[in-house]
Chain A
């Protein structure tokens, strides 16, 4: 890539910091050049976020249909999977899997609910009713 071809499309990161890129100058020698961002990367990231939004919406619907517990919704919202959620709560993965079932979730102890609530940064009642307070 020639130094004048280093893309300068302003994205989310570009507003906070520019990235170092390696590019060649007129004589073919490598130099560093700052880039504000690249459209191709920005849309790749947008595509990933669209997918996240769709997964959250699907999870919400599942919870409303009583096919899953609210944990599924909050898990998707926090971009987590069962492995990551197990890591943060300290539960085993098989426990988290069980807690995703509404009938199991409804019988969870206050202590266990509190662990999930802490990880998702919500109150226990909000966890149970799938309410989010956007701070």
Chain B
């Protein structure tokens, strides 16, 4: 059985799942930048002391699941979301959903995902894909970061849905409950609430020192000390992890700034305030600087450069980014919405 479903490739997996599922229920307006912006996807956090893959925990995105949840909520779309203890129940429920005609979003781990290149298969559990049918006992899968669709056997799908470790998916699946037409007015309201939420997450004084713009500044200051505190080799590994978190598929940091820039341009079509276009350019500048910083980091982990001065330059890039983004979000905060 194969549901009527169109595969859409996206820059980021959860955006992709969100737009595919929403388009499928008749939300024509939705695009990846709109989903990302309405879902307030832009974020930053650096959690010192905690480690992942033996490196620092740095996230450029909100917690997995939030973009879908917030976007649906803002557009008034009811959502079904379920986690499972039993693998059998998880598969049975998935089959029921497909029978009922719902393509379903699933949270999965990538370590056992067979169509991913081996080099990318770490124990990362916040990936998202859509199951949209069955064929000869296999499941048909639309993975938004891939150009084409794939198939997984029942066992392969079960294994990635029940991956273990941090953020274990526990078979989590989700889908919009029913077909829905969304008006342009709802999109407009969603855009405004998404921007407000993102302003809060990035520059609110209540989020503390490791989150948002403060977090970027904090990381910049930390990086300058990494060479002394960790040694050159370990510091290089930490920077490589930063870049992987920043630019890799499914996470993205510099890339996220560009998507946010695109979001503000698209928002302008719903809310004709020219400030949005100008702020969009500031996000482009920030994205460019994130990429420049990544090139600097690469110089260090490749061993081409590595003096304290090089680490200072790296740290200063992040401090500069923090200033740019502070300016951009403050400008968004000051917009008067009619």
Residues of A within 8 A of B (CB): 1, 12-13, 15-24, 28-30, 32, 38-41, 43-45, 47-49, 51, 55, 79-81, 83-84, 86-88
Chain A residue numbers with a CB within 8 Å of B165 are 80-81, 83-84, 87
Count A-B contacts at CB 8 Å: 119
Q: Contact between A41 and B11 (Cβ–Cβ < 8 Å)?
A: no
Q: Does B302 contact A (CB under 8 A)?
A: yes
Compute how far the CA of A23 lies from the CA of B258 in the bound complex, rounded to whole angstroms: 7
CA distance A32 to B243 in the complex (A): 22
Chain A contact surface mostly: mixed
Q: Which residues of A contact B281 (CB under 8 A)?
A: 28
Contact of A47 among B9, B145, B240, B280 (CB under 8 A): B240
- Cβ–Cβ < 8 Å partners of B240 in chain A: 43-45, 47-48
A74 to B291: give the CA distance in the assembly, Å: 36
The CA-CA distance from A22 to B9 in the complex, in Å, is 12
Contacts of A41 in B (CB 8 A): 243-244, 247-248, 294
Find chain B residues with CB under 8 A from A16 CB: 115-117, 146
Q: In the complex, what residue of chain A is closest to B265 when comparing beta carbons?
A: A30
Q: Contact at B146–A22, with CB atoms within 8 Å? A: no
The CA of A79 and the CA of B163, in the complex, are separated in Å by: 13
When the two chains form the complex, which single residue of A18, A22, A79 contacts B123, counting CB atoms closer than 8 Å? A79
Complex Cα gap A129–B219 (Å): 44
Q: Are A19 and B54 in contact (CB under 8 A)?
A: no
B203 at the interface (CB under 8 A from A): no
Contact between chains at B148 and A17 (CB < 8 Å): yes
Query: Cβ of B243 and Cβ of A44 under 8 Å apart?
Result: yes
